[in-house]
Every structure is written in C-alpha cells, then in structure tokens.
A and B are shown apart, each in its own frame.
Chain A
Amino acid sequence: MAHPPTVPPPPDRRDFLAQAAAVVIGGALALVAPAAGLFVLFDPLRRKAEGGGAVWVASLAALPESGEPRQFPVLATHVDAWNRTPNVRVGAVFLQRLADGGVRAFNASCPHAGCFVGFRADKNCYLCPCHNSTFELDGQVKDRTSPAPRGLDDLPVEIRPGGEIWVRFQNFRPGEKERVPV
C-alpha cells in the first residue's frame, strides 16, 4: 500500500474510503471466530434421539396378579455424545397386569416436569413427588388441580413367548399437552 502523500487530498474523501475499508475489513475479521463457534454451539440441534426399539423389561411372572403396578428399570444401549454403552439403565417404566391378560406400560417420568412418579398403593394412584400431580391407574390425570398437562405416557407393549414383556421405550417432552417424542 502506498504511503500517504505529503500533500494530502481533501481529507473527507480520503478519510471516507479509509473509514469504509476499515469498517468492512474489521467487520469481516470480527465475524469469523464467532461464526465458527456458533456451528459447534448449535451442533446438538441436528442430533436425533436413538431408541424406540422394543426392549425386554420383565417376565410376566414378575407382575402381581392383583393388577397393582410395579416399577422396572429399562435397559438399552445408551448413547452419550461419544460414548456408546450397551445394556445400561436408560429409564424406568411401570408395568401393570390387566384383567384381559394384557400388560399396560407407562413411562415413569411425570409429563409435567419430568420427575419420577411413584405408585401409592394406599390411594391406588400414581403420585408425582415434585408437584403433587396424581394419575389414575389408566394413566389419566386424577385430580383436576394437578399441574400435569396430560396423562402418563403409555408405551407399546408386546408379550412374547415365555411370558417375556417387551416395551418400546420412548421419552416424551414434558410440559406439553400433546405427546412429542424427545
């Protein structure tokens, strides 16, 4: 680049060009690093949850004949960023024997804010220990003052030969009226 001449031209015009160039270059310089960073920041948005496949949860024999629900852990392959771990606990379900011989399964996460609900045998209902939502045995919201926006999330159940209970385990977004898979 040429050095400034000894007799400067009208300052406003030369200054304007220099100013414009400085602003444009400066702006471009300031963009590169944050732009590169934002791509990495937003990377999780493109990652879809794996799962949804049926997994063995329990044997039919482990369910009380009385129809009282019982909680079981769900074991599946857990993907956590770079780690892939087969056969670890990824959640829990409640299983309940039905009168017609079938089995009902609920995800144990409360649809309100994601706490784990418990079954209260004395009141014959599910109760969330965080914000006191209550649910009927069929999963419907019991007390209308419950903060839960929807009933417990039921999961597809398959009973395979030998009384094996397989559940298609899935988590849903809490806090929404409609069920949206995570």
Chain B
Amino acid sequence: MKPALDWLDHRTGWKKLLHEALFENVPGGARWRYVWGSTLTFCFAIQVVTGLFLWLAYSASAQTAWESVYYIQHEMWGGWFLRGLHHYTAQAMTVLLVLHLMQVVIDGAYKAPREVNFWTGVLLLLLVLALSLTGYLLPWDQKGFWASRVATSIVAITPLVGPALQKLIVGGNDYGHFTLTRFLALHAGFIPGAIIAFIVAHIWLFRRHGLTPKEPRKSSDAPFWPGQVLCDAVACLAVLAAVLFFVVRYHGAELDAPADPSEPFGAARPEWYFLFLFQLLKYFPGGTEFWGAMFIPGLLLAVLCAMPFIGKWKLGHRFNVGFLWAMLAGVALLTWLAVNEDRHNPDYLAAVAAAERDAERVVVLAQSPDGIPQTGAVTLLRNDAFTQGPRLFAANCASCHRFDGGDGLGGTPKGKIGASDLKGFASREWLAGLLDPAQVDGPHYFGGTKFKDDDMAQFVKPEVAGFSAEQKAQLQSVIVAISAEAGLKSQRAPDARDAAIIDQGRRLISTATVRCNDCHQFHVEDKNATAPDLTGYGSREWLVAFITDPAHPRFYGKDNDRMPAFGADKRLSPQEINLVADWLRGDWYEPGAKEGKTK
C-alpha cells in the first residue's frame, strides 16, 4: 500500500495537501463556535449527492414533472426518504447560513483583510436562497407553481428590464415546459456550479487569512485535526439528526396536487424563510411593490456588504452587530405576523384543507389500475367526480340546494335554503324522508320551494300520515323499488338482496294506496303525467337529463320552480353535469372497490 501511495504522492503531492488541510492552526484551540462553515459544507455535499440521485428520476416537463416526483415519493424504493433528506437539508442550510453570518459578524471576522471573503459569503447566501427558490417549483405542484408565479411576477417589476427578465426566466409568455427546463438547469447546474466555485474561493481565502479567534482564547493553539474536526463532525451529526427527525416525522417532503393554472390555490405560500418578504409585500399598496420587494431588501443587503467599511469606525462594529440583530428581529417579527395572520384566517385554513384533500386524492387516483394518463395527473383531478362535484355544487347549486346542510365543500351558504338537501339523493333514506309527513314540506325537501303545499305534500301529509301498518309496509316496498331505479353504488348489495321486495314495490306503485302514477310516469308512457318521471329515477342518465333541463316535460315541465336549465342554457358543460351527477350519486373511484363490491 505504502509504495503505491508514495508513487501517487510523487505525481500529485496529495500528502502535502492533506497535511495543509488537516494541520491548519486553530488559534486558541478547537471551539464549537467555529463549526458553522463545516456544517454548511456538509449540508451542501448532502444536497449535491441527494440532488444527483433525484435527478436520475426527475423529468422536467409540464406533463411529467409532478408525475415523476410522485413516482419518487410514492413508488420508488426509499424515494420519500431521499426526497425528504434533500428537502429538509435545504431548510437546515438556510438556518445554518444565518448562524454562520451571525458568528462572523459578532466575532468581527468580516474586518480587514477578510472583506473579500465576507463578500463571497454573502454571495453564497444569496446563491443558496436562489437554489431553494428554483427548487420549490420543480415538483410542479400547486404550492410551488403558485408561489413561483408570485416570485417571477416580482421579477417583472424590476425597473427597465423587468418584463424581459421575467420572460427569460419563465422561458416564454406563460409557465410551461421551458419554465421547468430552465429552473432545473439553474437549480441543478448553473447555481450549484457557481456555489462550488465560490465555496472554493471562500475556503481558500479563509485559509489564507486564517481563522478569526474569539477573544479571550480559552486554551493554546491546536491543529485543525483532530480536535476541531471532531467538533465539526459532532455538529454535522446533530444537524443530520435534526434533518432525519423531520424526514421521518413527515414521511419525506410534502407534495401537493399537480399544478393547475385553472384551479385557484389560496394556500400558496413561499417557503417559511421567505415569509418575511411575503409579509412585507402586504404593506406596499399597488404600484409601490418595488419598494417592498426590491428596494428595502436591496438596501439591507447593501448595508450588509458595507459592514467591513462601517466596522473601521470607532463604533462601527457595535453598529454592525446591532444592525444584524435588528434585521433578524425584523425578519422574525414579519415571519411571525405572516404565520399568525394565516393561523387566524378561515379562508386560508379552508384552502389548506382543500389542498390536502386534493393532494391525497390525486395519489389515490394515480395508484388506481388506470394509472396516470399521458396528459398528466392534473387531468385525473379534473375528471374526478369526488374532486370536482363539490366544487361545482358549491358554485352552481348551493345558492338554493344544500348538501348535508352545507355547500358540499364544508362551508355554509349564505341565504335561506331554497330547495332540497341532496345528500343521499334517491337513496332509500332520502326517499323515506320525502315521503315522511313530518319532513316533506320541511327545509330538507320541499320547504323552500313552491311545491311546499303542492300535490306531493298534499298526498304525503294527510294520506301517508293516516296509513295503516300494512300500507306503510307497502309504501316501504315502493321506496325500495324507486330507489333501485337509481342503481346507486352504495346500494348495490341491498338492491341485489331485495330483488323480491323491489318486484313487489314496482307492482304497488300504481295501486290505489300509493298511487304514484296519478302524477308520475313509471316505465309506461303517460302523456298526462305532471310530475317528474320515475323511470330510472336518480340514475345517471336521469340525473344528467334533469340537470340539463328540469323544465323538460319529462320532469317538471312548466311547473319547474326556479331551477335553471344548466345544460340547455349552457351554464355547465356536459362534462361538468356528468361530474355533478356522479358526485351526487356517490359514484367515483375508490381503491379496492372492484374486489370488495360483489360480496
């Protein structure tokens, strides 16, 4: 071994290099306050390694970015761990950068002759922030997408070159493939390359001028190895332990639903360490954003860079330390204000809840047997009744109808209930309520409509109320039979079990007791029918046709009460009507539904 190492040493001089690296003098001996630079280098190394491996599986395009990150997070061996390590180490780096800056300023390590090294450090700070800004977009999820749009919009307010600069960064007029290819090239190529170059310069200058000892020195000088190396290693271990805690606690990094420029996202926030800038922007009214987004941060940065010169004055060092503390306190205050405001903002909390729901749902859909189509996972959510149904209901139906007392999204609509509550529409329970003398003209059914005192209520209230036990049993069979017309997914098992009752109920519909066919049509054409057709009542076809045009003779005809013809008037597209109908019928993909249903 030794001859080979000697051979290599003759040709490369590695022994001298290693000796210089290890036996650098540490004035006053090893100390914990000197570890920050090493922890940062360690974090950067983790980012390079994890980033390269992530790159192996990442695909930068608008239809594949989220999908590949989903695949890393949910399908690949230990992918969540790798992603989590990258994500939380990035956060740790930001914290360590601030600690390193504080140590350098407090210890006066920025003073002559170390000015240039201080500036390379400030530049490295900015480059690392640029890394996290560009990395935030790469998963192409709702959060990254909307937060990055804010960031690039701020670029556009740069005087003179703003719009052109924004277009260059985004790679076009709008977000798309080129935004991702550019952000990836910046995030994984240009910026890390620049960081490596400046780390080399930073460490070289650090070695050239030596460490700035904190006075008073606690012991005699010692070489870097092994004392300081051990301190550094223990500090790195602590950083890694903290990162791993978060990785395991949150099972990797968060992944929101895929980016959708048509889907507003009220939960968009920048990464927590940019929240102070986010908050600052709120205080600048329209047209003055430049001052909040550029001038103030630029001014603070300029003072930071001027610290080596300010420090030459008598009270300069004290000013610098005070300035740094004041700046950090301001950042902390703004961050707290931002977090606190969000915590008490019901709209934001609702948006976060909706975002979490979408994020969970899209994973369920992606893992379905149909997988992710080539149009991207965003179409999974757009075509999903479970996702879109409540949104469409809240926007179009909830001004009159209710769903379980609310608007379908968990909110409570303003104004009085003007039509029936559609939760469980056409199910046995729902129909039983409709035919209950106590409920038929109540708020859940016809209470808010002009049918409050109409034929149906006239029939149910006096007649059904006076039914004998036998007649009630007959009515129950009719309910089961009409409900079976809907073919609801949730009633597949009872419908199959109760075939005989359904048969009986169908026959009873036209009897003198129940006499539905006085007004309704049921399987036999009836030109005199005045109420909605019960043939296929609540089935997908029936519901779609009803929503399309409730005033059609098949349904309410000219008696229709206020309900718009959503399809006939083109208020909703056929696709949207299908989604609402499927959602009301409880018909959407559920994992394991195929196997479990027949039992």
- Give residues in A with beta carbon < 8 Å to B: 1, 3-4, 6, 15, 18-19, 21-22, 25-26, 28-29, 32-34, 36-43, 46, 79, 81-85
Residue pair B230, A22 in contact (C-beta under 8 Å): yes
Q: Closest Cβ of chain A: how far from B273's Cβ, in Å? A: 22
Residue pair A40, B222 in contact (C-beta under 8 Å): no
Contacts of B371 in A (CB 8 A): 79, 82-84
Q: What's the Cα separation between A96 and B230 when bound, in Å? A: 74
- Do A82 and B57 form a contact, CB below 8 Å, given A26-B233, A37-B82, A43-B79? no
Q: Name which residue of chain B comes closest to A86, CB basis.
A: B370
Residue pair A82, B226 in contact (C-beta under 8 Å): no
Q: What's the Cα separation between A145 and B229 when bound, in Å? A: 64
Q: Pick the contact of A33 from B31, B46, B218 — CB < 8 Å?
A: B46
Chain B's interface size range is 35 or more
- Do A36 and B227 form a contact, CB below 8 Å, given A81-B68, A82-B371? no
Residue pair A82, B372 in contact (C-beta under 8 Å): yes
Q: Closest Cβ of chain B: how far from A40's Cβ, in Å? A: 5
Contacts of B57 in A (CB 8 A): 40, 43
Asked whether any CB of chain A lies closer than 8 Å to the CB of B374, the reply is yes
Q: Closest Cβ of chain A: how far from B537's Cβ, in Å? A: 34
Chief secondary structure at chain B's binding surface: helix
Contacts of B54 in A (CB 8 A): 40
Residue pair B49, A4 in contact (C-beta under 8 Å): no
Which of B70-78, B405-413, B550-558 lies at the binding interface?
B70-78
- Do A82 and B50 form a contact, CB below 8 Å, given A6-B219, A19-B226, A33-B85? no
Most buried by B among A6, A37, A46, A85: A37
Contacts of B49 in A (CB 8 A): 33-34, 37
Asked whether any CB of chain A lies closer than 8 Å to the CB of B42, the reply is yes
Residue pair A37, B76 in contact (C-beta under 8 Å): no
Contacts of A34 in B (CB 8 A): 49
Q: Pick the contact of B50 from A15, A28, A36, A83 — CB < 8 Å?
A: A36
- Give residues in B with beta carbon < 8 Å to A: 29-32, 42, 45-46, 49-50, 52-54, 56-57, 64, 67-68, 70-72, 75-79, 81-82, 85, 218-219, 222, 225-227, 229-231, 233-234, 236-237, 240, 244, 366, 369-374, 377
Residue pair A28, B237 in contact (C-beta under 8 Å): yes
Q: What's the Cα separation between A32 and B43 when bound, in Å? A: 12
Contacts of A15 in B (CB 8 A): 226
5 more A-B residue pairs beyond the given contacts A19-B225, A32-B46, A37-B82, with a C-beta to C-beta distance below 8 A: A3-B29, A18-B230, A21-B230, A25-B230, A40-B72
Contacts of A32 in B (CB 8 A): 46, 85, 240, 244
Contacts of A37 in B (CB 8 A): 49-50, 52-53, 82
Residue pair A40, B230 in contact (C-beta under 8 Å): no
Contacts of B79 in A (CB 8 A): 39-40, 43
- Do A36 and B78 form a contact, CB below 8 Å, given A4-B219, A4-B227, A82-B70? yes
Q: Closest Cβ of chain A: how far from B539's Cβ, in Å? A: 27
Contacts of B226 in A (CB 8 A): 15, 18-19, 22
Contacts of A83 in B (CB 8 A): 67, 371-374
Contacts of B85 in A (CB 8 A): 32-33, 36
- Top 5 A-B pairs, shortest CB-CB distance: A84-B371, A37-B53, A39-B78, A33-B49, A18-B226
Q: What's the Cα separation between A33 and B222 when bound, in Å? A: 31
10 contacts between A and B (CB under 8 A): A3-B29, A4-B30, A19-B225, A25-B236, A33-B49, A40-B82, A42-B77, A81-B68, A82-B67, A84-B370
Q: Pick the contact of A39 from B77, B233, B236, B366 — CB < 8 Å?
A: B77
Residue pair B50, A33 in contact (C-beta under 8 Å): yes
Q: Name which residue of chain B comes closest to A28, CB basis.
A: B237
Contacts of B81 in A (CB 8 A): 36, 39
Q: Closest Cβ of chain B: how far from A3's Cβ, in Å? A: 6
Chief secondary structure at chain A's binding surface: helix
Q: What's the Cα separation between A25 and B234 when bound, in Å? A: 7
Contacts of B82 in A (CB 8 A): 36-37, 39-40
Residue pair A43, B76 in contact (C-beta under 8 Å): yes
Q: What's the Cα separation between A85 and B75 when bound, in Å? A: 18
Q: What's the Cα separation between A1 and B228 when bound, in Å? A: 12
Residue pair B230, A29 in contact (C-beta under 8 Å): no
Residue pair A22, B229 in contact (C-beta under 8 Å): yes
Q: Name which residue of chain A comes closest to B89, CB basis.
A: A33
- Do A40 and B237 form a contact, CB below 8 Å, given A19-B226, A82-B371, A83-B374? no
Q: Closest Cβ of chain A: how far from B553's Cβ, in Å? A: 41
Q: Name which residue of chain B comes closest to A42, CB basis.
A: B77
Residue pair B222, A82 in contact (C-beta under 8 Å): no
Q: What's the Cα separation between A4 and B30 when bound, in Å? A: 8
- Do A29 and B77 form a contact, CB below 8 Å, given A21-B230, A41-B53, A82-B70? no
Q: What's the Cα separation between A79 and B370 when bound, in Å? A: 10
Q: What's the Cα separation between A119 and B459 when bound, in Å? A: 79
Contacts of B64 in A (CB 8 A): 82
Q: What's the Cα separation between A3 and B226 when bound, in Å? A: 14
- Do A40 and B233 form a contact, CB below 8 Å, given A19-B226, A82-B68? no
Q: Name which residue of chain A comes closest to B31, CB basis.
A: A3
Contacts of B52 in A (CB 8 A): 37
Q: Name which residue of chain A comes closest to B223, CB basis.
A: A15
Q: What's the Cα separation between A99 and B567 when bound, in Å? A: 60
Q: What's the Cα separation between A43 and B371 when bound, in Å? A: 19
Q: What's the Cα separation between A39 and B233 when bound, in Å? A: 25
Q: Name which residue of chain B comes closest to A30, CB basis.
A: B45
Q: Name which residue of chain B comes closest to A29, CB basis.
A: B236
- Do A29 and B70 form a contact, CB below 8 Å, given A37-B49, A39-B78, A43-B77? no
Q: What's the Cα separation between A22 and B227 when bound, in Å? A: 9
Q: What's the Cα separation between A78 and B8 when bound, in Å? A: 52
Q: What's the Cα separation between A33 and B53 when bound, in Å? A: 9
Q: What's the Cα separation between A127 and B211 when bound, in Å? A: 72
Contacts of A38 in B (CB 8 A): 53
Q: Pick the contact of B56 from A6, A28, A36, A40 — CB < 8 Å?
A: A40
Q: Closest Cβ of chain A: how far from B218's Cβ, in Å? A: 6
Contacts of A4 in B (CB 8 A): 29-30, 219, 222, 227
